[in-house]
Structures are given as C-alpha cells and as structure tokens.
Chains A and B, each alone.
Chain A
Amino acid sequence: MDLPEQLHDFLLVFLGSCLVLGSLGVVFFTNPIFSAFSLGLVLVCISLFYILSNSHFVAAAQLLIYVGAINILILFAVMFMNGSEYHQDFHLFTVGGGITLMICTSIFVSLITTIPDTSWYGLIWSFPCCWVHRGTALSSLWSRSYVCSSFWFRVFVSKKFPFQFGKNYKFLLVIMLTCVLKMHVS
C-alpha cells in the first residue's frame, strides 16, 4: 500500500486492537446478538487488514462471503434463541477454559517467536503451484491480476518488513525480473 509509513503503522495498530477487542467481545458478551455483531466487526477488521496488505480481491471476497453470508447465517441462528436463556450458567473460570487458555497462549507464543525468524522466500517459491504458474498461460493471468505484483510491491516498498527480505533485495530483484520475463515469454 502506498501510504506513508506512520499512517500504515497507526492503521495496523488500530485495526489490531479493534480486532482483539472485537474477539474479546465475541467471547464475553452474554447477549448472543452482541456477540454475533462483534464477530462481524472482527471479520470487517480482517478485511481492512487485507486492504492494507494490498490484496484487494481477497478483502472484497472476505467482506462478501464472511460478513455478507456467514455472519448473516450466524445472526439468523442466534435469532432462534429465546431471550430468557441468556443469563444462565455464566462461570468465569472453568477447567475447560483454563486448558484452552494454556493451549492458546502456547500456540501464540510459538507463533510470535517463529514467524520473524523464518525466511519465507525459499518456502513460497518452492511450492509446486508456483512452478506451474511460472510456465503456463495462467501465469499471464497472474501478471494481469495484481496478486503477485502486490506481493513484490510489499516486499520492496515497505521498509519495516518483519521478514529477512530487505537484506537481499538486489538478489530478489534479479530473480523477480527473470520470473517476470519468463512469464511474459511463455
């Protein structure tokens, strides 16, 4: 995205906190309609994250399908429930809740320690679907659509990239140019 650096960071932090608050609201609201609406807020925030990452089609698909169809389905299912069933059985700390809390925090900690430390470049271009896309007519479809170019745009333009791409950008530029040339030749 061609936003200024600080605005990009501010939007990331704002959307992230909105997302976390919305997901807390999904879990902790006693009224299930509030819960369903904050799930809708979470899905809209995810869609805005996709826009920030320059994937406009995925953002639109997310809005259409998740908010427009799946959240509506959840809301309709919630509307079947009776109003008198809301405030029963609200325990704050249960055994199952404690186990889930430990599992989720361990998954979260392992994710935030491993994601900045792996080099994603080798993984992505070793996937077989990318081999196919290099050589077929579909690859010109990819060059016409903005997905690949937006990925590379994000690699080179965003300075605060958390992965290790920024150090080898000349090498990546050569590889990108050869791939693009191969795509246009085939």
Chain B
Amino acid sequence: MFLLYDYNIFWAFLIISSLIPILAFLISGILAPISKGPEKLSSYESGIEPMGDAWLQFRIRYYMFALVFVVFDVETVFLYPWAIGFDILGISVFIEALIFVLILIVGSVYAWRKGALEWS
C-alpha cells in the first residue's frame, strides 16, 4: 500500500488470505467445546484403526508428471510476451507462435503415447 504501489492488489490479497485462517482458528478456539480423551490423541485414518506404516515409497509417476510440467511451464512463459503484444504483431508472428506450440504438442503426444502420463 505504501511501498511498491504497483503491487497494491497483491498486498491486499496477501493480507486477506493470511487473515482468513487466523480468524478461522481464533473463532473455533473460542467457540468450540473442549473435551479430552485418549481417542483424541490417536492418528486419524477415516475412523478405522490405522494400519500399515506412515511412510510410503515415492512413486515414479509423480516425477514423470513434474518433468512434463517443466517443459510446458517454460513454453507458457514464452507465450506470455506474445500474448501481451498480440494485437500489434502481425499474422506472421501468429503463425510462428502456432508452429512453436505445434512442435511442443508433437513432444506432448510422444510423451503420451510412450506412457509417461499413465496414472495407474
């Protein structure tokens, strides 16, 4: 608000989004009844007895999705300046950006058919 007034909306968003959970905890801390018991301190597993270990093995599909995400994130960052100047750049630049996106779609189709995006 006082410094970096270009970021006014951002500071307002940050302040409001940090106030909401603080308010939620405060109100529930004031209004909720307190009852202690041994079951309150056990770990929660949808109402049943906890079974198995808490630490699971990391699965490779998370890494495959993060890898594909890196590629398309960099592509998105390249498309942002093109989107800003879209109305003054001509049709040739539009075709070039389309070719760029098409090349990356070819890569995406390759990754899809190779099974990098399988969830099961």
Q: Are B66 and A61 in contact (CB under 8 A)?
A: no
Given the known interface contacts A3-B3, A73-B66, A77-B63, the answer about A65 and B73 at a Cβ–Cβ threshold of 8 Å is: yes
Q: In the complex, are the beta carbons of B89 and A141 less than 8 A apart? A: yes
Q: Which of B6, B77, B88 contacts A61 (CB 8 A)?
A: B77
User: Could you tell me the distance in whole angstroms from the C-beta of B6 to the nearest C-beta in chain A?
Assistant: 8
B85, A7: Cβ atoms under 8 Å?
A: no
**Nearest Cβ in chain A — how far from B22, in angstroms?**
23
Q: Are A70 and B3 in contact (CB under 8 A)?
A: no
CA distance A56 to B76 in the complex (A): 16
A145 within 8 A of B: yes
Contacts of B69 in A (CB 8 A): 69, 72
Give a binary string over B18-29; 1 marks a CB under 8 Å from any A CB, 0 the rest. Answer: 000000000000
Contact size range, A:
20 to 34
Q: Across the interface, which residues of A come within 8 angstroms of B63, CB to CB?
A: 73, 76-77, 80
**Residue on B with the closest CB to A68?**
B73
Name the CB-closest residue of A to B60.
A80
The verdict on A57 contacting chain B, using a C-beta distance below 8 Å, is yes
Residue of B nearest to A11 (CB): B3
Assess the A137–B89 pair: CB atoms within 8 A.
yes
Report B21-70 residues with CB < 8 Å from chain A CB.
58, 62-63, 66-67, 69-70
Known interface pairs A69-B69, A137-B89, A141-B89. Does A76 touch B84 (Cβ–Cβ under 8 Å)? Answer: no
A57 touches B80 (CB 8 A): yes
Q: Give bound CA distance, A73 to B89, whole Å.
A: 35
Number of interface residues of B (CB under 8 A): 21
Residue among B66, B74, B80 with most chain A CB within 10 A? B66
CB-CB under 8 A from A55, the residues of chain B are: none
Task: Assess whether A145 is in contact with B84, with CB atoms less than 8 Å apart.
Answer: yes
Q: A65 and B85 in contact (CB under 8 A), knowing A73-B66, A76-B66? A: no
- For residue B111, give the distance in angstroms from its CB to the closest CB of chain A: 15
**Residue among B67, B76, B85 with most chain A CB within 10 A:** B85
Q: How far apart are B112's CB and chain A's nearest CB, in angstroms?
A: 19
Q: Per-residue CB proximity of A160-184 to B under 8 Å, as 1/0?
A: 0000000000000000000000000
Q: How far is the CB of B48 from chain A (nearest CB, A)?
A: 27
Interface membership of B90, Cβ < 8 A: yes
Q: List 16 A-B contacts (CB under 8 A).
A: A64-B73, A64-B76, A65-B73, A65-B74, A69-B66, A69-B69, A69-B70, A72-B66, A73-B63, A73-B66, A73-B70, A80-B58, A80-B63, A141-B89, A144-B88, A145-B81
